[in-house]
Structure 1
Amino acid sequence: MEMRSIRVAFMTGTVALFHTASVAQQPVVPETYLTADRMLSDIKSGSDLARIILHSYGFQTGFINAKLKYQGLPQLYCSPEKLAITSEQHADILKRYVENHEGVGQFPAGAVLVDALEETFPCKTSDE
């Protein structure tokens, strides 16, 4: 049941992403943004679409994280309660992670962003 909820959250975010791009009347070519390196390169070049897509990945991950917390399951990452992560912060978190982890830039930007958020906002274990 939990996996179904996670899939629904992901699909909802994906639909919102494509709707946002269509409203902006910009073509969306998902394969263009498969890697973290490409995503960061396009953001550096000033692409609002790349910035929006990366932020939507982070936003979707936040929904999944909230669902996990609500269900009493371990969260993916534990950002401060009152922190609303901006698109610029998502880009900076991804950029720092890629710079500090050789080779990860070749992997899908969304997956790398999850790893970056986990490292940036680790959850305390019961031992801490």
Structure 2
Amino acid sequence: MIEIASKIVLCLLIASVIGFFIGFLIGRSSRQNKPSQIKNMHDFKVQGNIYNKPIILSKPRPTGEDDLKEIEGIDFKTEEELNHLGIFHYDQIAKWSDKNCEWISEYLCLENRIQEEKWVEQAKVLNKKR
């Protein structure tokens, strides 16, 4: 019985080493972003401190998403990126702290536009109008 168990363990070890080696070779050959192929650093989203990330939703509320383009400084592309991130409503933006604004600025590569264009203040005004 011990002899059979030891053979099984030996076969499992050999199979795992072979599997690891094959996986390593496949992974290495199919790697998409080699350092020499990176052309633009903006191709990668910067992940800031997760504790500074604003509250997000998995989908808009049943009443539908707000038109974030009404906030001066948010264009179609930025609205799309915010929606993809989970920000659909004025009140979400209105509740952002300075740390949340920094996180979004870093993540979307906005270079401090949120504070300069006063998105939070605009969102508070638009939220009151609803």
TM-score (norm 2): 0.23
Structure holding more helix per residue: 1
TM-score (norm 1): 0.23
Higher relative CO (CA 8 A, sep ≥ 6), structure 1 or 2? 1
